[in-house]
A and B are shown apart, each in its own frame.
Chain A
Amino acid sequence: MYDFTDLVRSIHESLVASLSPGMAALVEWIIIGAIFLGFFALLGLVLVYVERKVCAFFQLRLGPMRVGFWGTAQTLADTLKLLLKEPIMNKRADKFLFNFAPFIIIISSLIVLSVTPFAPGLQAFDINIGLFFVIAISSIGVVGILLAGWASNNKYSLIGAMRSGAQIVSYELSVGLALMTMVVLTGSLQLSEIIASQADGWWIFKGHIPAFIAFVLFIVASTAEVNRGPFDLAEAESELTAGFHTEYSGMKFAFFFLAEFVNMFIVAVIAATVFLGGWMPFHIGGLDGFNQIMDFIPPILWFFGKVAFIIFLMMWFKWTFPRLRIDQLLTLEWKYLLPLNLMNIVLMAFVVYMGWYFGN
């Protein structure tokens, strides 16, 4: 009922009919690129607004209220301000790397965004190694952070960048292993197949205890990987003023800011897809009447609902917990999360081998 497959196919066929195959492909690329860039910008605006509002309500404030209804146009106004700001650069900074770093970060998040399965048929790039692709590309972002810290010629930036490097390299392990645990269950890396396998129930419910453990581990590790509180050591405004982006201003700063929010969105997308069924409505095997009622809600709403829930969860962490120290952060990963993950993957393999999960 809400399938986008036919719509996408008809657009594709009409393009192929009127243009040469090469041109049709080019036009499709441009359309998809434009859609994603637009979505990217919109995402940034919305998420920044949401963050400010959520944070404000946690802190007994109202947040932005003046520009537009309930301050909805505030982020737009801020973007305008950032665009008009003078890009100031440290005289001794490495000019090329300094300007290059924000782009690495933003491009890496944009690439990962391309595999997002929004709704049935609405996925730009359904690669068969989807999860692997996500893990691989999202780790390019750290190069941008390291470059930004190094090129700024500022000691605070450098400390921030080094912290970030240590942090992301370690937490990537946990993210990867938590996802790997689920891959044992799904048997596929392709995002569309992972979603299809959850038609009779989401993996977090079907997969028993190990799936739930993997979910918690994934949320903790990925919060650390996107440098958000309580793991925001790379920025740590009370210690390093602003960490790796201390020296950035104007739009280049906005790129870092935007990338943080888009990365948060990506993490939420992966969590929603792998654990909570992506765009798949909430189904319980056997209860057909209930399942049909759930099907009335469009998949795209299910998808964004789940993503919003996980983003809210991450904002909740950030505005409640104090920040960890660098050694505690690494201890948490290497001494607790990683062994737990390894044990969990064995447990999951055992569960799958014995067939102790629902819906097999």
Chain B
Amino acid sequence: MEVVDKDKTIPGDALKSQEYFVNMGPQHPSTHGVLRLVLTIDGEIVKRIEPHIGYIHRSIEKMCEKDSYRQIVHLTDRMDYLSCHINNVAVCLAVENALEIEVSDRVKVIRTIIDELTRLASHQLWWGVMGMDLGAITTFLYGFRDREMITDIFEETCGARLTMNYNKPGGLMFDIHPNFQKRTKEFVEHFKKKLPEYDQLLTGNVIFQERTKGIGVMSKEDAIAFGVTGPAGRASGFECDIRKKNPYHVYDKVEFNEVLLTEGDSFARYKARIQEMWESLSIIEQLIDNIPEGPIEEKTNAVIKLPKGEFYQRVETARGDFGVYVISDGKKSPYRLKFRSPGFSNLFILDKIARGSKIADLVAIMSTLDLVMPDIDR
């Protein structure tokens, strides 16, 4: 954005405007957690953004170095709590691959369905919060209404609504509830009617489009260079869907499109997530009627010890490319374990794309990046 040089328009130093700092956060309604942004502001225009993180750093990686692999699974849903199941699965997959355990098709299909339900729940919450950040508080309640059905399904399946811990290395904790298929189908039917309602309420709104179109444009090169993944990266045309690139579970057997857009602005990031919800619904529909029979877990040793070596497992969470990097020295806990969280990389492009925009735009850009602070701080 062009900033008018004030020296040229107003003569004299007396009327010169002054830049000042604003601490946005750690307690602020739209930083979605304890993120602190130090903004350099000139009037309404943001000149520089410096993110300060670490307010919710719990050193999960250090804790993992003392825990057994089964325990590590339980730590992962404290990171990105909105895609907790996908995080759990990532660790389980890493361990299973290292031990060369092949889980049954039943486990794979159930994991895929719940992965997609988790993604839907996360996107619904994001949609509600996105509207709220732009001042349309009603969307928040609409998003939560539909998310409630998913959390009810989760509660019935494994007893927890948010931090599920439904997986363990080798399979699932328990089999699905007899109602699972029925209720999931009910949800899909319900949500297919509600998604157009979302479009009516927010997507088609003139003010909303004015607020998001052409705001915070991220080029494909920037997205790759800063490692921005997930719907945010794909809205810029960066093909980064792990489900397509390195398929896990049964993603190679279902049909779905990788949502790729080219505009790279806030509205494209918004649209990418909305379209991804349709894709998730279609994946669930393809799988829900034919969950194969089979064992829900493979036998593992009482104490899981990974062979010596390095293992890297990538999965696609609701926010992007999540990686688990395990360096094992053959003991019961990893020598070093690194979680590559998508939010961490996504956050730091903020200064690049939001520089020169208004304070209100910064809020819109931040919410289209869909940041979850525990995921970033770990």
A and B pair up:
yes
Residues of A within 8 A of B (CB): 55, 58-61, 155-156, 159, 163, 229-230, 232-233, 236-241, 319-328
Main secondary structure of the interface of B (DSSP, over half): helix
Chain B proximity of A260: nearest CB distance (Å)? 15
Choose among A239, A240, A241, A321 the residue that contacts B136 (Cβ–Cβ < 8 A).
A321
Residues in A neighbouring B205, C-beta threshold 8 A: 321-322
Nearest CB of chain B from residue A152's CB, rounded to whole Å: 14
Residue of B nearest to A325 (CB): B360
Partner pick for B142 among A60, A229, A321, A327, CB 8 A cutoff? A60
Q: Is A319 a contact of B207 with CB atoms below 8 Å?
A: no
Query: A216 CB to closest chain B CB, in angstroms?
Result: 15
A236 with B135: CB separation less than 8 A: yes
CB-defined contacts of A55 to chain B, threshold 8 Å: 137
Given contacts A60-B142, A155-B20, contact A326 B360 (CB under 8 A): yes
B28 at the interface (CB under 8 A from A): yes
CA distance A81 to B138 in the complex (A): 27
* A–B pairs, 19, beta carbons within 8 Å: A59-B138, A59-B141, A60-B141, A60-B142, A61-B141, A239-B30, A241-B28, A322-B131, A322-B136, A322-B208, A323-B134, A324-B207, A324-B210, A324-B211, A325-B360, A325-B361, A326-B44, A326-B358, A328-B211
Kindly list chain B residues whose C-beta atoms are within 8 Å of the C-beta of A241.
28-29
Chain B contacts for A233, CB-based, 8 A? 360
By the criterion CB–CB under 8 Å, are B360 and A236 in contact? yes
Assembled-state Cα–Cα distance A127/B211 (Å): 44
Residues B134 and A238 in contact, CB atoms below 8 Å apart: yes
A236 to B41, alpha carbons, bound, how many Å?
17
Taking a contact as CB atoms under 8 Å apart, the answer to whether A323 and B142 are in contact is no
- The CA-CA distance from A165 to B352 in the complex, in Å, is 31
Q: Which of B314-362 contact A (CB under 8 A)?
A: 358-361
Digit string of B196-218 for contact with A (CB within 8 Å is 1, else 0)?
00000110010110110000000
Closest 3 CB pairs of A and B: A323-B135, A322-B134, A59-B141
**A325 surroundings in chain B (CB, below 8 A):** 210-211, 358, 360-361
Task: Tell me whether A60 and B145 are in contact (CB under 8 A).
Answer: yes
Interface range on chain B: under 10, 10 to 19, 20 to 34, or 35 or more? 20 to 34
- Asked whether B162 is an interface residue with its Cβ less than 8 Å from the other chain, the reply is no
Look across to chain A and name the residue whose beta carbon is closest to the beta carbon of B28.
A241
Give the CA-CA distance A354 to B88 in the complex, in Å. 77
Task: Kindly state the separation between the CA atoms of A59 and B136 in the bound complex, as whole angstroms.
Answer: 11
A230 and B210: CB pair below 8 A? no
Q: A322-B135, A325-B361, A327-B358 are in contact. Are A238 and B44 (CB under 8 A)?
A: no
B contact residues around A59 at 8 Å (CB) = 137-138, 140-142
Q: Is B133 an interface residue (CB 8 A)?
A: yes
**Interchain CB contact under 8 A, A322 and B207:** yes
> Taking the complex as formed, is B287 at the interface, i.e. its CB lies under 8 A from any CB of chain A?
no
Given A60-B141, A239-B30, decide whether A322 and B211 contact each other with a Cβ distance below 8 A. yes
Which residues on the A side are within 8 Å of B138 (C-beta)? 58-59, 319-320
Knowing A319-B137, A322-B134, A324-B211 touch, does A238 contact B145 (C-beta < 8 A)?
no
Closest to A158 in B: B20
C-alpha spacing A60/B143, complex, angstroms: 11
